[in-house]
Chain A
């Protein structure tokens, strides 16, 4: 009998113990993979949302914190503290293209939906939107709405449909083509109409700015600050700031997962220790047949490693399944709201799959060292005389 056959036979001899030990490491690795996949998805979603914002600079009220920067990416409501005078001042700076945005919310069938008040002409060219159905706004004074692609799908809206925003019935004039960003889940209104409906006066929430020369970004930031006394951050600064918050969340999630894997490792130690005691006689026979301590140590270590490989593989499958199915439900806070709707194949990262199986195997092998050492150091007399 080869070593591998002996290892497999020993492991599956006690099937119940095998299944439940395997389940321990499977669940541990599954939770590890779930959190790792979600964390990776969170980062890629943030990068995607930041790219779809299409701005080099973001102008916010001075003193805005990182949580408000998250809100820009998630489409949450922001304070409306920037006046149209400030907007005009920024737009007058040479070399910048600036668009004001008022962020608000409404609901259709009790489901919340982002509303953006925009400068209709400037925003269309700023974002490069294309109309999928119907038509775009014909002017700033129009009392109508244009909806994002996903919002139209979700609420079954089409050109000519009617929506109610703050008690006012508005006709959907058109549906945008899919952008792949937050705009897909947003209702757009002309800025004066949005300001009137939400009673914000002449104020907006933030401004998205594109600059002509990226090498002079710092100079543009300085000019905007001098002209308006508002806060300005670059898209890279905002991304760094948001990702640092998300990084903290990721580390916490991974630590929780590490505890599960650690618990599973103790399960393996327990199983292997029991096997050592139960198979003393078998160890004795192996020794009598000439097996060296190193061989016995290897047998037990391979058994432990086998749990790691199989548990790792099943854990990865279970973890990816959970992360894909659970992701759309995790929408209750600003950090994880990025994950919504991202349950797709992009979650399956080969590095995560291979890394998790290797991690599981390594943990299982380390967990098996002590039981294997105990088995190997049994004296032949003690082992063979065990009843």
Chain B
């Protein structure tokens, strides 16, 4: 009986560790609506998740992300906050849910999020 109990205990511990690691990975991810109103309050490297909503007309390495919740809201009053993101690697396409790690830079025109890492989680097929 003991060996089966050991197996069960090992399985439970394994599941708990996996859950803990998964939770830890998600705990620091911020949403666009969390940071958009006061970007100056966020210092150092942070991870942000959002939906790629469009590319800058003046700089193709800059794109805007909006909050994931905006996908649900269809009314005209939706509170769309866009955060400009600069990323030097391969650019995401409109509708891509991205997870970006980087920091805010203060420019004369406002704040720009400079991403060092980007992961495309999935595409939400918006904008045709």
Query: Within A88-137, which residues are at the interface with B (CB < 8 Å)?
Result: 104-108, 110, 112, 115
Query: Within B2-29, which residues are at the interface with A (CB < 8 Å)?
Result: 4-5, 7-8, 11, 19, 23, 26-27, 29
CA distance A15 to B79 in the complex (A): 59
Which of A20, A64, A68, A167 has a CB less than 8 Å from the CB of B40?
Answer: A167
Min CB distance A168 to B, Å, is 10
In the complex, are the beta carbons of B41 and A107 less than 8 A apart? yes
In the complex, are the beta carbons of A67 and B73 less than 8 A apart? yes
In the complex, are the beta carbons of A79 and B78 less than 8 A apart? yes
Which of B29, B33, B74, B77 has a CB less than 8 Å from the CB of A61?
Answer: B77
Which of A16, A326, A332 has a CB less than 8 Å from the CB of B4?
Answer: A16
In the complex, are the beta carbons of B38 and A165 less than 8 A apart? yes
B72 interface contact, C-beta 8 A = yes
Q: Give every chain B residue within 8 A of A384 (Cβ-Cβ).
A: none
CA distance A166 to B35 in the complex (A): 11
Greatest chain A CB density within 10 A among B27, B31, B46, B75 is at B75
What 1/0 flags go to B29-61 for Cβ under 8 Å of A?
Answer: 111011111101111101000000000000000
In the complex, are the beta carbons of B77 and A76 less than 8 A apart? no
In the complex, are the beta carbons of A105 and B74 less than 8 A apart? no
A227 interface contact, C-beta 8 A = no
What 1/0 flags go to A40-83 for Cβ under 8 Å of B?
Answer: 00000000000000000000111111011000000011110100
Q: Give every chain B residue within 8 A of A62 (Cβ-Cβ).
A: 77
Q: Give every chain A residue within 8 A of B43 (Cβ-Cβ).
A: 110
Min CB distance B18 to A, Å, is 13
- Given A326-B19, A329-B26, A333-B68: A112 and B73 within 8 A (CB)? no
Which of A60, A106, A167, A329 has a CB less than 8 Å from the CB of B27?
Answer: A329
Q: Give every chain B residue within 8 A of A354 (Cβ-Cβ).
A: none
A19 interface contact, C-beta 8 A = yes
Q: Determine chain B's interface SS by DSSP, over half rule.
A: mixed
Q: Which chain A residue lies CB-closest to B44?
A: A110
In the complex, are the beta carbons of A107 and B34 less than 8 A apart? yes
What 1/0 flags go to B63-99 for Cβ under 8 Å of A?
Answer: 0000011001111111101000000000000000000
Q: Give every chain A residue within 8 A of B81 (Cβ-Cβ).
A: 77
The number of A-B residue pairs with CB atoms under 8 Å apart is 93
Min CB distance B65 to A, Å, is 15
Interface size class of B (residues with CB under 8 A): 35 or more
Greatest chain B CB density within 10 A among A20, A67, A164 is at A67
Min CB distance A192 to B, Å, is 17
A7 interface contact, C-beta 8 A = no
A275 interface contact, C-beta 8 A = no
- Given A65-B74, A67-B73, A334-B69: A164 and B79 within 8 A (CB)? no
CA distance A19 to B37 in the complex (A): 53
- Given A19-B8, A23-B8, A329-B27: A107 and B42 within 8 A (CB)? yes
In the complex, are the beta carbons of A112 and B26 less than 8 A apart? no
A198 interface contact, C-beta 8 A = yes
Min CB distance A1 to B, Å, is 21
Q: Which chain A residue lies CB-closest to B43?
A: A110
What 1/0 flags go to A11-27 for Cβ under 8 Å of B?
Answer: 00001100110010000
In the complex, are the beta carbons of A332 and B78 less than 8 A apart? no
B1 interface contact, C-beta 8 A = yes
- Given A19-B5, A329-B27: A68 and B34 within 8 A (CB)? no
Greatest chain A CB density within 10 A among B1, B30, B72 is at B72
In the complex, are the beta carbons of A107 and B35 less than 8 A apart? yes
Q: Give every chain A residue within 8 A of B31 (Cβ-Cβ).
A: 332
In the complex, are the beta carbons of B37 and A104 less than 8 A apart? yes
The 5 closest A-B pairs by CB, nearest first: A107-B41, A112-B34, A79-B79, A106-B38, A65-B75
Residues of B whose CB lies within 8 Å of any CB of A are: 1, 4-5, 7-8, 11, 19, 23, 26-27, 29-31, 33-38, 40-44, 46, 68-69, 72-79, 81
* Extra 13 A-B pairs, beta carbons < 8 Å, given A63-B75, A63-B76: A16-B4, A65-B74, A65-B75, A65-B78, A68-B78, A76-B33, A81-B77, A105-B34, A105-B35, A106-B41, A110-B46, A112-B35, A166-B40
Residues of A whose CB lies within 8 Å of any CB of B are: 15-16, 19-20, 23, 60-65, 67-68, 76-79, 81, 104-108, 110, 112, 115, 164-167, 198, 326, 329, 332-334
